[in-house]
A and B are shown apart, each in its own frame.
Chain A
Amino acid sequence: MQPGALSDALKKGAIWGFIVLELIFFSVAGEYLALSDKAFMDYENMLLLLKQSAPIGIIAIGMTIVMINGNIDLSVGATYAIAAIILLDSMTWTVFAGLGDWVIPVSWLLALAVGTFLGALNGLIVWKTGVDAFIVTLGSMLGYRGIVFMFNGENPTSHLNWTLVDFAEAQFLGFHTATWFLAIVTVIIWFVMTRTVHGRNAYAIGDNREAAVNAGIRVGPHVMINFAVIGFLAALSAVVFYSESGSVNPNDGQLYELWVITAVVLGGTKITGGAGSVIGTIGGVIAIQLLRKGLGHIGADTSTVNLVIGLILIAVLVLDRQLNVKGKEELKV
């Protein structure tokens, strides 16, 4: 076995092992502590869990490719809120009044287009100015949130379309619409990242940017495409979620970037780029959602979830460090 292979294997499998541990823990602890007498690993409950994973999960898939590419996007929560408002607001616009239910695909496309544009705008700024993605998206996180408030001040934007709600609540082969969206997005992005030239170049750029530049890979367009993709996915996440809920607050999506980054890091994507997989990210998303549900199941309140997730994120870093610990003769810097 190559040195480091064990820790590699451990790391790749770690998130799934952790999920299994969570399942066992909450099932057992649930026997004694649960408020309801329903088993934790109930079929319905698990289906619901997947559905609830979708909004964060879809964005996390986008964050995975941006982070593999060596960047980060802090503005996803705000993009999510803007897309949600566009979706709900546009259905009431008088221009579309004659469309009937055909307004749904139009509004969807509009929301997705706006999300893609906002993402691409971040990417374009990162590319053309050379300012670090962290700063660019920190700025647009504020800026995009400002735009959210411009629509309706601090009031919520609401519109319920029952055709849409029916669609969003539908189940196909047992899985909810949202779950299907998550699954399809995962498959497509997995395919893009592992099978296409764009995906492989994105890995190369995150891994060794200078080498990629020297090999003639055009870093800028790849970066911009990935930002456009995360913008699109943030909008898709909003489309999927708000089709059902029908009402958006201007503060919605706040702290999503935190949840999303946590899921991606738990899923094994390297913070500095170059390594990671969307499959791992799905593991990370499910692990977090299990934790939220599980803690609720055993009667812990929501505040505990924040505490536990924060500490787990740190514990993962510590563990990762211990697995990669060097010999004691190594240079101490």
Chain B
Amino acid sequence: MATMTKQNIGNILAKQGILVAFALFIIAFTIANPKFLSVDNMFSVVRSSAILGVMALGVTFVVISGNLDLSVGSMMSFSTIVVLDLHDQIGPLLAIPAMFAMTIALGAFIGFLVGYLKLNSLIVTLGMLSAIHGLTLTYSGGKNMDIADKDGTWFSVFGQGTALGIPVPILIFIALAAVLGLVLGKTAFGRKVYAVGGNGTAATFSGIRRARTVFLCYIMSSACVATAGLIQASRSLGSQNTVGQGLELEVLAAVILGGASLMGGSGTIFKTVVGVLILGFIQNGLLLLGLQFYVQFVVTWVIIILAVWLDIAAKRGRLWSPIA
């Protein structure tokens, strides 16, 4: 019996380990600084996580389909710069759909390469990281982009506005998470994403168009990136052309932290949201403790490895790798 209970605890830890860790963190931070659990602070955490979070939602689809997307950071810089530039040229009403179209075109290109041409997604998106970065620099002429009339535009609503007392970025994040959660969990498309990532050959043998499914995952991912770019642009109304640099790795960290396997076939939108919030709360908690921003890098490192390690340790039934 004793072993049974031990196993059960092990199982719970393995399945919900990340939530348990999350809870422990919150308790620890709250004890250290009671402000941590205040509503204001909660809002500020979620708001500052919104951009990362929106991107992570899209990448979740890509990762579950068994692929990677390392290009989302530079793609986000691209969409931010483009929408800011077009804002002054053709007005916000046209700039937003134009930016979405351009960003999604990039996503479609990646989707074509990885889905239809079956190229290795790591290398393709690594190449696209570089290529899109170059594209952004060329587009902006290497300069920062600013909206001329910062006070007179309604464009700021996506990043700075509030509705029902809640900041708009949070609302966008929650709404998108809800919608994409349903798409992934409840629709035929979502089912196919899991099937393609779980066993692509079996999915093909079941009449699922694997290439198209992967293609659509990258479309989803780029649409989320465009949304993140919109929030970013609207919040700052001006931007450097490297604003998204390095975000691809934080996004991936959040998705992995949520428990999606890089092998594909597992993960959920809910778990990704948890992963995003964990990253956000750690960052926030460490700042409240008076630590520098870079301490969070080190803490994130430890947490990512522990999370993935415990996950696979539970699956193989032993802590240490059996490899000699």
Contacts and interface: CB of A to CB of B under 8 A. Distances in A.
Chain A–chain B contact at Cβ < 8 A? yes
Interface of A: 74, 125, 127-132, 134-136, 138-150, 153, 213, 218-220, 254, 258, 261-262, 265, 271, 301-314, 317-318, 321, 332-333
Max chain B Cβ within 10 angstroms of own Cβ: one of A218, A219, A333: A333
B137 A306 contact: yes
B133 interface: yes
B130 A262 contact: yes
Interface in B88-142: 113, 117-120, 122-124, 126-138, 142
Q: Which secondary structure dominates where chain A touches chain B?
A: helix
Contacts of A308: 134
B303 to A, nearest CB: 8
A142 B297 contact: yes
A132 B256 CA distance: 12
Interface stretch (B44-52, B151-159, B316-324): B316-324
Contact of A220 (B122, B256, B323): B323
Contacts of A134: 122, 262
Contacts of A150: 292, 294-295, 298
Residue of B124, B136, B308 with highest tally of chain A CB at under 10 A = B308
A135 B200 CA distance: 22
B211 to A, nearest CB: 10
Contacts of B301: 139-140, 142-144, 146
Q: Which 4 pairs, one residue from A and one from B, show the smallest C-beta to C-beta distance?
A: A143-B301, A310-B131, A146-B297, A307-B134
B274 interface: no
A8 to B, nearest CB: 19
Contact of A130 (B123, B292, B312): B312
Contacts of A314: 113, 119, 123-124, 127-128, 131
Given A141-B249, A150-B294, A258-B130, A131 B323 contact: no
Interface of B: 113, 117-120, 122-124, 126-138, 142, 200-201, 204-205, 210, 245-246, 249-250, 252-253, 256, 262, 292, 294-298, 300-302, 304-305, 308-309, 312-313, 316, 320-324
A82 B14 CA distance: 34
A294 B88 CA distance: 36
Given A135-B262, A321-B118, A310 B129 contact: yes
Contacts of A271: 120, 122-123
* Most B CB within 10 A of own CB, among A130, A311, A318: A130
A317 B120 contact: yes
Contacts of A127: 321, 323
A138 B68 CA distance: 13
Contact of B294 (A129, A132, A146, A312): A146
A170 B74 CA distance: 39
Contacts of B117: 318, 321
29 contacts: A127-B323, A129-B321, A130-B320, A130-B323, A131-B305, A132-B262, A140-B301, A142-B300, A143-B301, A143-B302, A145-B294, A213-B323, A213-B324, A262-B126, A302-B137, A303-B137, A306-B130, A306-B133, A307-B133, A310-B127, A310-B131, A310-B132, A312-B127, A313-B130, A314-B124, A314-B127, A317-B124, A321-B119, A333-B205
A149 B119 contact: no
Contacts of B302: 139, 143
Q: Which of A148, A149, A312 has the most CB of B within 10 A?
A: A149
A22 B292 CA distance: 46
Given A130-B316, A303-B134, A313-B130, A135 B120 contact: no
Contact of A135 (B132, B205, B256, B322): B256
Contacts of B200: 333
A103 B45 CA distance: 47
Given A135-B304, A141-B249, A306-B133, 19 more contacts: A127-B321, A128-B321, A131-B309, A135-B308, A138-B252, A138-B304, A142-B304, A146-B296, A213-B323, A220-B321, A301-B142, A302-B142, A303-B133, A304-B138, A310-B127, A310-B128, A310-B132, A314-B128, A317-B124
A163 B253 CA distance: 43
Contacts of A302: 137, 142
Most buried by A among B132, B137, B323: B323
Given A149-B292, A310-B127, A304 B134 contact: yes
Nearest to B113: A314
Contacts of B119: 314, 317-318, 321
A204 to B, nearest CB: 14
B297 A145 contact: yes
Contacts of A149: 292, 294, 297
A304 B137 CA distance: 8
Nearest to A310: B131
Given A131-B312, A318-B117, A258 B131 contact: no
B135 to A, nearest CB: 6
Residue among A147, A271, A303 with most chain B CB within 10 A: A303
B126 A307 contact: no
Contact of B134 (A128, A148, A310): A310
A129 B324 contact: no
Given A142-B253, A306-B134, A321-B118, A129 B126 contact: no
Nearest to A218: B324
A251 to B, nearest CB: 10
Nearest to B309: A129
B320 A128 contact: yes
A134 B252 CA distance: 11
A117 B322 CA distance: 23
B56 to A, nearest CB: 14
Nearest to A72: B122
B265 to A, nearest CB: 15
Contact of A254 (B126, B246, B312): B246
Given A134-B262, A150-B294, A301-B142, A311 B249 contact: no
